[in-house]
């Protein structure tokens, strides 16, 4: 019995190791720290053996740590990644601002601070890839839709933007919509587009803070951008955002969008692989354009 068990373990060992050798990781990882606005931020760089592009992952709202699973997916597809713990979260220094700690994280000062962190991350990734002639972009979702254009405006190393479910309206307008939908997943079954727009444009604001309009930065940028939307989003008014995007495109901006009618707000982390696959292919096409 002991002989059988020993041989059984040997077979498992050989199978496991053969499997590992047959499917080796095609990227390396490196833990790094970098400085931004007086604090040290901690992250991880994922470097494929043959990278075709690179991105810094920018957080949405909330106390978000580095996105290692998503970075792994991108690295396996040949995209180098720097993902880091948000300011005041995980191993990063600084103070987190957000509703969980009773502070406002959408005022212009905080969004600008987070965009400076993203810009510093781009500089760090650029140094790490100094021998690689590949483009570096910014990728993120939700609140990152306001942060990414601000960071791109600050740093000419940013060559493209990929944004999942990011609003192209002001922060206050987005909050009006979000308060109106109130987390109701069936909102669009009982409300019209006209009804939603009325509230976006006329509802009283529940909070007072210095607003941010993404149009200000987007109208000045000349890099390509991709927005991916879900038609059933109840946090961002998608059709209104697409109209604003189309208006920017008439000014010869290289902005594109892809709409998935049956998806909600979390387009990057839905049950469908299509949005992320589409974004990856779009990023890789930047090399050829």
pLDDT digits (tens, 9 = 90+) for 126-150: 999 987 789 999 999 999 999 999 9
Q: How far apart are CA 31 and CA 265, in angstroms?
A: 31
pLDDT over 70 for what percent of the chain? Answer: 90
Mean pLDDT across 59-76:
95
Which pLDDT band, with edges at 50, 70 and 90, does 24 fall under? low
pLDDT at 98: 84
Could you please report the per-residue DSSP string of 159-179?
Answer: EEEEEES--SS-HHHHHHHHH
Burial class (CB in 10 A: 0-12, 13-18, 19+), 197: middle
For 211-222, what is each residue's pLDDT tens digit?
Answer: 999 999 999 999
For 169-198, what is each residue's pLDDT tens digit?
Answer: 999 999 999 999 999 999 999 999 999 999
CA 99 to the chain's CA centroid: 20
Cβ neighbours around 271 below 10 Å, total: 6
Element (DSSP H or E) covering residue 225? strand 225-230
Q: For 79, phi and psi rounded to 5 degrees? A: -110, 120
| pTM of the full structure | 0.89
Tokens encoding 120: 């510093």
- Whether the predicted pLDDT of 231 surpasses 50: yes
- Whether the predicted pLDDT of 84 surpasses 80: yes
């Amino acid at each position: 019995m002991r002989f059988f068990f020993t041989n059984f373990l040997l077979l498992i060992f050989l199978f496991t190791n053969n499997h590992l050798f047959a499917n080796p990781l095609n990227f390396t990882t490196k833990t790094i720290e970098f400085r931004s606005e007086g604090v040290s931020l901690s992250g991880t760089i994922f470097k494929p053996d043959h990278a075709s592009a690179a991105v810094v992952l920018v957080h949405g709202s909330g106390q978000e740590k580095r996105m290692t699973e998503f970075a792994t997916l991108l690295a396996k597809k040949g995209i180098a990644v720097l993902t880091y713990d948000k300011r005041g979260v995980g191993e990063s220094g600084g103070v987190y601002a957000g509703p969980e700690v009773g502070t406002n994280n959408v005022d212009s000062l905080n969004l600008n601070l987070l965009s400076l962190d993203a810009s510093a991350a781009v500089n760090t990734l650029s140094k790490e890839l100094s021998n690689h002639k590949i483009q570096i972009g910014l990728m993120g979702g939700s609140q990152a839709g306001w942060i990414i254009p601000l960071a791109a405006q600050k740093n000419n190393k940013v060559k493209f933007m990929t944004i999942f479910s990011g609003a192209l309206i002001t922060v206050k307008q987005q909050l009006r919509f979000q308060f109106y939908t109130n987390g109701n997943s069936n909102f669009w079954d009982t409300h019209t587009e006209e009804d939603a727009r009325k509230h976006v444009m006329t509802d009283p604001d529940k909070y007072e803070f210095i607003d941010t309009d993404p149009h200000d930065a987007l109208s000045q940028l000349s890099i390509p951008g991709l927005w991916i939307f879900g038609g059933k989003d109840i946090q961002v008014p998608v059709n209104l955002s697409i109209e604003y995007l189309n208006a920017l495109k008439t000014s010869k901006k290289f902005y594109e969008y892809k709409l998935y009618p049956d998806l909600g707000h979390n387009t990057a982390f839905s049950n469908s692989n299509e949005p992320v696959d589409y974004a990856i292919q779009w990023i890789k096409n930047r090399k050829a354009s």
